[in-house]
A and B are shown apart, each in its own frame.
Chain A
Amino acid sequence: MFIDYKIKGKYVNLRSVEESDAEFILSVRNDPRISKYLPPLNVTVEQQRQWISKQRADKDSYYFLLETPEGDKIGTISIYDIDGDHGEGGRTCCIGEPFAAVEASLLFHDFVFDVLGLNYTTGWVYENNKPVIALNNSFGISWVGKNYDKNGEPYLECQMHKEPYKLNRDKILKKLRIIK
């Protein structure tokens, strides 16, 4: 599914991914800074374009592009496998400023909990991705399990519930507002 408006922040906006974003998505997902922690995409631009077209028509996912207010593309974030009161959050990456990454996560969770009305999201993070684990801890995430990918790399399974997120949201927002 897609939204036909932008979710606006001070440092970053979220909008639904379009077919024309395929090249950027491939470049960011295959950027070594990102592929260290998120599986790279081994597809062509055309295949990615077709995949986005299909995603926009499906009924159980939203896929957002992160853009600076100036329109520079800096990352992606997504909710998929939406089922009842929950969905899986992922495809998260940001090559922009730290405050843009934090704000994008706030805007995303506000959308998931307040607009979609979900009660929790599931997800996973590679165990060695300490900055993202620490960021998720600040948001009030629960770690619910550990598993291994096909290469034997350990990853942690998590759930973000609406209530703990809401408890931490304002504290994080306050920090964001200090930035000029």
Chain B
Amino acid sequence: MEINDFIEKFAEQFDDTDPSEIKADTVFKDLDEWSSLVALSVIAMVDEEYNITIKGDEIRNSDTVEDLFNAVKTKA
């Protein structure tokens, strides 16, 4: 798993947010478009792309995109 690849796929889950706004250190819950629907899309993306199941707690306990990447990576 590569973090740049993860960031790109993470950014694809937003409809209106400029992908360039999303970096490893982005506090994703501060993004205007962040919602439980985007969280759902992220969970689905991780499942589809990495065949890893994450739950709301892993998202809740992550601040940055990199935190979430690391949480996913530990389950790989």
Chain A residues engaging chain B, CB cutoff 8 angstroms: 94, 96-99, 101-102, 130-135, 137-138, 172, 175-176, 178-180
B35 touches A138 (CB 8 A): yes
Q: Which of A97, A132, A179 contacts B35 (CB 8 A)?
A: A132
A97 touches B55 (CB 8 A): yes
A102 touches B37 (CB 8 A): yes
Closest chain-A Cβ to B12's Cβ sits at a distance in Å of 13
Residues of B27-76 at the interface with A, using a CB-CB cut-off of 8 Å, are 29, 32-41, 43-44, 47-48, 53, 55-56, 59
Chain B residues engaging chain A, CB cutoff 8 angstroms: 29, 32-41, 43-44, 47-48, 53, 55-56, 59
Closest chain-A Cβ to B47's Cβ sits at a distance in Å of 6
Q: How far is the CA of A130 from the CA of B28 in the complex (A)?
A: 12
B38 touches A134 (CB 8 A): yes
What are the residues of chain B within 8 A of A130 when measuring CB–CB? 32, 34
What are the residues of chain A within 8 A of B39 when measuring CB–CB? 98
Q: Can you offer 18 A-B residue contacts whose CB atoms are under 8 A?
A: A97-B55, A98-B36, A98-B37, A98-B43, A99-B40, A102-B36, A131-B34, A131-B35, A131-B36, A134-B32, A134-B37, A138-B35, A138-B37, A172-B37, A175-B40, A175-B44, A178-B48, A179-B47
What are the residues of chain A within 8 A of B36 when measuring CB–CB? 94, 98-99, 101-102, 131, 135
- Count A-B pairs with CB separation below 8 Å: 53
What are the residues of chain B within 8 A of A180 when measuring CB–CB? 47, 53
Closest B residue to A139 by beta carbon equals B37
Closest B residue to A131 by beta carbon equals B35
B40 touches A179 (CB 8 A): yes
Q: Which of A98, A138, A179 contacts B59 (CB 8 A)?
A: A98
Closest A residue to B36 by beta carbon equals A98
What are the residues of chain B within 8 A of A98 when measuring CB–CB? 36-37, 39-40, 43, 56, 59
What are the residues of chain B within 8 A of A179 when measuring CB–CB? 40, 43-44, 47
